[in-house]
Structure 1
Amino acid sequence: MSSYASEYPAGDKFDPEYKAFFEQFYETSDTPSAHEKYSNQFTQDATLIMASKNAQGREEILSLRKGMWEKVNSRKHTAVKIYPFGSDSNEAMLYGKVEYSLKDGREATVDWAARAHLVKQDGAVMMDFYQVYLDTAAQNPSK
């Protein structure tokens, strides 16, 4: 079992390709050098909202992604539970935590929630909408 596996509600059918996508997505999210791979998990015209930051389209998502690593040495996402909007849905709500090791030596753990919309395009699962809700103040703990 992957360290990026999540729990899902019993009885709801959620496409196994979507489950595999989320595992790969968070593993890629935690790989510092995987900027292009990260942005390619979104459709060309996708919307990414990360707390108060917005990116529209793959190029802006790539730029936002690079900025997310400027002060971070490492991060580890745990998507604790993923809740599809019913059986066979391509939308889900997620919640989890992310542990950060910052370049200035500090560490932080932040709870987050997200809303994702998935599509299958050219034989691959991608997101065309992803919004993350988190407490940005928790990312900046005092020393």
Structure 2
Amino acid sequence: MAIHPDAFPDNVSPEVKALLEKYFQLSNASSSHNDHEANEQEFAELFVNDGTYELAEEQSVGRDEIISFRKKLFANIPHREHPVVRIFTFGSDDMNLMCYGTVGYKISDEPVNMQEWAARYEIVRTGPGDLRFKYVQIIISPARDS
């Protein structure tokens, strides 16, 4: 389960929920999967043509850069999972969101590495019933002991 059932506030539309669910489904896709290339292409298509995907200090603009960056990033990470704990809206609608969760990823034979993450999502409507990401910014930090 990528998004906890109670993570969404009441004011998030079914369209936005569907976009985020697809985003995390594709982001959690195994890197060793035969359709890895297709998954990254489908992931990039969730963005507008000149959309921005920023992870830590690395920024990719446009679908081709997003695909290239993610292929390089996940080349040696055969498993990853990003459970979303909470989603927050800001602004006048649900097109600007903040998310909080943890990410577990595994490199080769090492144990699963857990980290906390937060992200900001700016969504735009590109047509009737069609939403895309304009900007995604992800911040990752080592998980703390609770």
TM-score (norm. length: structure 2): 0.83
Report how far residue 30 of structure 1 moved: 1.1
37, 52, 55: which one aligns with 1:50: 55
Counterpart amino acid of residue 22 in structure 1: L
Question: 1:15, 1:88 within 8 Å by CA — same for their partners in 2?
Answer: no
Question: 2:16, 2:94 within 8 Å by CA — same for their partners in 1?
Answer: no
Task: State the alpha-carbon separation in 1 of the partners of residues 109 and 56 from structure 2.
Answer: 22
19, 22, 46: which one aligns with 1:24: 22
Task: State the alpha-carbon separation in 2 of the partners of residues 52 and 5 from structure 1.
Answer: 25
Report how far residue 16 of structure 1 moved: 1.2
Question: 1:13, 1:87 within 8 Å by CA — same for their partners in 2?
Answer: no
Q: Could you say which residue in structure 2 is the equivalent of 1:119?
A: 124
Say which SS state the counterpart of residue 72 (structure 1) adopts: coil
Say which SS state the counterpart of residue 65 (structure 2) adopts: helix
Report how far residue 88 of structure 1 moved: 2.8
108, 129, 133: which one aligns with 2:135: 129
Task: State the alpha-carbon separation in 2 of the partners of residues 128 and 43 from structure 1.
Answer: 6
Counterpart amino acid of residue 42 in structure 1: F
Q: Could you say which residue in structure 2 is the equivalent of 1:15?
A: 13
Report how far residue 104 of structure 1 moved: 4.2
Task: State the alpha-carbon separation in 1 of the partners of residues 120 and 53 from structure 2.
Answer: 10
Counterpart amino acid of residue 19 in structure 1: K
TM-score (norm. length: structure 1): 0.84
Aligned Cα root-mean-square deviation (Å): 1.8
Identity %: 30
> Residue by residue, what CA displacement relative to the aligned partner does 1:99-141 show, whole Å, maximum 9, x if unpaired?
1111243320110001100112244221010000112xx49xx
> Residue by residue, what CA displacement relative to the aligned partner does 1:28-54 show, whole Å, maximum 9, x if unpaired?
001131111111111100111100111
Counterpart amino acid of residue 27 in structure 2: S
Provide closer, same or farther for how the CA distance between residues 106 and 4 of structure 1 changes in structure 2, counting only shifts above 3 A: closer
Structure 1 residue 61 corresponds to structure 2 residue 66: yes
Q: Could you say which residue in structure 2 is the equivalent of 1:5?
A: 3
Report how far residue 72 of structure 1 moved: 0.2
Structure 1 residue 101 corresponds to structure 2 residue 106: yes
Say which SS state the counterpart of residue 82 (structure 1) adopts: strand
What are the ranges of 5 or more consecutive residues in structure 2 without an aligned counterpart?
Answer: none
Provide closer, same or farther for how the CA distance between residues 46 and 60 of structure 1 changes in structure 2, counting only shifts above 3 A: same
Matched positions, count: 133
